[in-house]
Amino acid sequence: MMGRPPSDNPKSLKIEIRADQETISTLDAAAKKLNMTRSDIVRKGIEKIYDDLQ
């Protein structure tokens, strides 16, 4: 049976946030403009904040 190959970095952990409609709309607009998923945008944001702290 063929399927997706195993990932080198599986995304098995989940986080949940509370957000207002404006934040979700902003997230969706950024995701659409950059052709990325919501999760990709959030991961990028976390990386950027972390890098800024270094």
Do the domain assignments include residue 48?
A: yes
8, part of any domain: no
Residue 27 · residue 41 · CB < 8 Å: yes
Which residue range(s) make up the domain with 43? Answer: 21-53
d(CA 51, CA 32): 24
Give the C-alpha distances (Å, rounded to integers) separating 2 from 5, 8, 31.
9, 18, 30
pLDDT-based confidence at residue 52 (cuts at 50, 70, 90): very high
Would you state the pLDDT for residue 43? 97
Total domains in the chain come to 1
Q: 11: helix, coil or strand?
A: coil
Domain assignment present for 10: no
pLDDT in tens, 10-49: 888 999 999 999 999 999 999 999 999 999 999 999 999 9
Whether 30 maps to a domain, the answer reads: yes
What is the reported pLDDT for 1? 63
CA-atom Rg of the chain in angstroms:
14
For residue 5, the model assigns a pLDDT of 80
Alpha helices in the chain, H assignment, sequence order: 21-34, 38-53
Q: Note whether residue 33 is domain-resident.
A: yes
